[in-house]
Amino acid sequence: MAHKRYRSILLFGAPGVGKGTQGRVLGAIPGFFHLACGDVFRSLDISSQEGRETREYISRGELVPDDLTIRIWRKGLDGYLGMSQYKPWEDLLVLDGIPRNLRQAQILEDHLEVLQVVYLICKDEDAMVHRIQRRAIRENRADDGSEGVIRHRFDVYREETEPVLAHYDESIVSRVDAFGSPAEVLRSVLDVLIPIQNELFRDRRP
Ligand code: AMP
């Protein structure tokens, strides 16, 4: 089936690096629409078939199977399109948490025109684990309950997700130091994204 391909930015990086925080802040700025795959999963009714099935994987720190992931993610996207909360003619789609392996990246080629990959980098795994543990308490997240599950999420990231970077042309990958405060990281992310947005929507500004 042929889809419209949405102009997208991918926020990429290890668990706990700050993709969700940066995505949410960007999503509050007119001209960006943020969609986190994990948020789509967490919004499912847990008594539904999809809710039950995905929760099993999420609570173990495993990836949800690709076809199920893409189907649920696409349904989430279509919901925002249907409500005109995401307006592709004026918003850049900011994705985080997807694609998480090479197969997802290939499937998404049908759905997305990836303009830029923002690779948030933090080498301090312990700092990220602590951040995730604080978030687990704040947001009551089932996947972040134990350190064992969190460490497993890092293994999955290294084995399955990191290789996804090679799928994208080096010229569209920007590396951003994610170690600073959210505001500092945001400045670096905006340095990358503002020129892209200006170029795209040049004709639309009043
Ligand atoms: P996140 O909120 O991005 O950290 O995602 C939380 C959990 O949801 C992950 O540990 C996975 O179990 C699942 N998940 C999120 N996005 C994906 C994806 N693209 N593919 C498979 N599983 C995912």
Looking up residue 115, the CATH number of its domain turns out to be 3.40.50.300
Q: In this structure, is residue 43 part of a structural domain?
A: no
Separation of 98 CA from ligand 1 center, angstroms? Answer: 8
Nearest CA residue ID for atom 1, ligand 1: 38
Mean pLDDT value across the chain: 92
CB of 57 closer than 6 A to ligand 1? yes
pLDDT tens digits for range 43-69:
999 999 999 999 999 989 999 999 999
- C-alpha distances (whole Å) from 53 to each of 28, 62, 148, 155 are 31, 12, 21, 22
Q: In this structure, is residue 11 part of a structural domain?
A: yes
Q: In this structure, is residue 135 part of a structural domain?
A: yes
Q: How far is CA 139 from the centre of its chain?
A: 18
pLDDT tens digits for range 121-152:
998 888 898 888 888 878 777 666 688 889 99
Specify the number of domains making up the chain.
Answer: 1
Q: In this structure, is residue 192 part of a structural domain?
A: yes
Separation of 179 CA from ligand 1 center, angstroms? Answer: 22
pLDDT of residue 27: 97
CB of 97 closer than 6 A to ligand 1? yes
* Ligand 1 pocket, mutate which of 52, 94, 100, 138 (most atoms under 8 A from CB): 100
Q: In this structure, is residue 22 part of a structural domain?
A: yes
* Ligand 1 pocket, mutate which of 58, 131, 160 (most atoms under 8 A from CB): 58
Q: In this structure, is residue 182 part of a structural domain?
A: yes
Q: In this structure, is residue 46 part of a structural domain?
A: no
pLDDT tens digits for range 19-36:
999 999 999 999 999 999
By residue range, what is the domain housing residue 162? 6-30+91-204
Q: In this structure, is residue 164 part of a structural domain?
A: yes
Distance of alpha carbon 134 from alpha carbon 157, whole angstroms: 20
Distance of alpha carbon 186 from alpha carbon 86, whole angstroms: 21
Residue 7, classed as helix, strand or coil, is strand
